[in-house]
Amino acid sequence: MTMSSRASERLVHVPLGERAYDILIGPGMIGRAGGEITSRLKGRRAAIVTDENVAPLYLEALMDSLQTDGIEAVSLALPAGEKTKSLDHLSTVCDMVLSARIERNDAVIALGGGVIGDLAGFAAGIVRRGVRFVQIPTSLLAQVDSSVGGKTGINTRHGKNLLGVFHQPDLVLADTAALDTLSEREFRAGYAEVAKYGLIDKPDFFAWLEKNAREVFKGGAERIEAIAVSCQAKSDVVVEDERETGRRALLNLGHTFGHALEAATHYDSSRLVHGEGVSIGMVLAYQFSARMNLASPDDARRVEAHLKSVGLPTRISDIPGELPPTVQLLDAIAQDKKVKGGKLTFILTRGVGEAFVADDVPSSEVMSFLEEKRST
């Protein structure tokens, strides 16, 4: 990782050969977007995809920056929320991009959180068989996870992210000042993905978070450090396994359980948002690992204690409202894209920072485990 010329910024380079790109992290990136984009891309047109919550806050500043640097831009603001990741909205975005005459060297710009990034990235990957793509993530979750690595997609009635493509961005601008407008709940949800990197294979980072979480939430140097470490961690995995055929699957720690819980709530963000599902899912993964005699119960308790200390949900019973029967949760897990050949695949652990891919996990064990955890 290299420091940029500005002391309050970090630059993480993702070395993917011809598809290499930079992640710039720090305050004020939206106002500098035009200059950063024109220094890297040849096209001079852009189609901005955002949502109705983000647009009033940052769209004008982004448009002004693009115009100043000679980029002609159009924009589309979609409803906020997970339900926007749909075929109908994908069609709307593609139509807007084509109507704007965006060519392969021009750019689709995602201005928003993970939902907008996933949707806009999918559109960028399929319009004209692929146009340039710039991520400007405005949520913590998007800055540390979904904006990096090129996974795009939408949800279907069969499950989350089951339609999509791998389409790497050409630039990621993580404006840390944008995080100041997040609700406390949204920031906490993003923090779950930050903690995930420590739990996968960086025990020292997780220990650092246990000591510095309060400062990360307050902002400043610790927040930028946590984001930079997270982006570097994801970059390292993506470079080694870009299309998730091996080690990249570790990034799904907590996601198989979490996605099933999201599906069970019908993606109702008033009940559960993605980062909250991941938080519960990571605790379940550690608890299930302990149940299978792979890890110590003390590790599961440690993980739960830290996530709970920052206000994240850690138990299935923390989700408001009724959930479907356990067999339906298991069906959602079986539909998840982490399944290979019909066999259940989970990311389990041997301890903090010791995650691994477990193939052929017995569904009967998962069923009884979930039944037990629903009542605790």
**Are 289 and 295 within 8 A, CB to CB?**
yes
The answer to whether 147 and 174 have CB atoms below 8 angstroms apart is yes
**Per annotation, catalytic residue among 9, 82, 193, 262:** 193
| 167 is annotated as an active-site residue | no
Q: Of 244, 262, 276, 304, which is the active-site residue?
A: 244
Task: Spot the catalytic one: 85, 160, 234, 373.
Answer: 234
User: Exactly one of 10, 45, 151, 373 is catalytic; which is it?
Assistant: 151
Give the single-character DSSP code of 376: -
Catalytic position from the list 252, 276, 291, 373: 252
Query: Catalytic site residue 304?
Result: no
Residue of 259, 291, 306, 373 with catalytic role? 259
Of 167, 188, 223, 255, catalytic = 255
- Amino acid identity for residue 335 in this structure: Q
Token pair 């010329």 in the structure block, residue:
5
Q: Is 248 a catalytic residue?
A: yes
Q: Classify each residue of 23-51 as buried b or exposed e, where b means 16 or more C-beta atoms within 10 Å of its C-beta.
A: bbbbbbbbbebbebbbeebebbbbbbbbb
Q: Which of 18, 129, 293, 322 is catalytic?
A: 129
Any catalytic annotation for residue 255? Answer: yes
Q: Is 193 a catalytic residue?
A: yes
Would residue 40 show up in a list of annotated catalytic residues for this protein?
Answer: no
Catalytic residue among 10, 274, 291, 306: 274
DSSP for 278-291 reads HHHHHHHHHHHHHH
d(CA 64, CA 278): 36
> Distance (Å, rounded) from C-alpha 190 to C-alpha 48?
23
* Distance (Å, whole) CA 228 – CA 1: 8
Catalytic residue list contains 13: no
| Residue 306 annotated to the active site | no
Q: 13: Cβ–Cβ under 8 A, 6 or more apart, which residues?
A: 2, 20, 21, 22, 23, 235
Catalytic residue among 89, 248, 291, 306: 248
Q: Give yes or no for a contact between 89 and 52, defined as CB atoms under 8 angstroms apart.
A: no
CA 210 to chain centre: 21
Q: Which ranges in the chain belong to alpha helices (H)?
A: 33-38, 55-68, 87-99, 114-126, 140-141, 184-201, 203-218, 221-240, 255-264, 274-291, 297-309, 326-335, 363-374
Q: Is 120 exposed, middle or buried (0-12, 13-18, 19+ CB in 10 A)?
A: buried
Q: Looking at the annotation, which residues are catalytic?
A: 129, 151, 193, 234, 244, 248, 252, 255, 259, 274
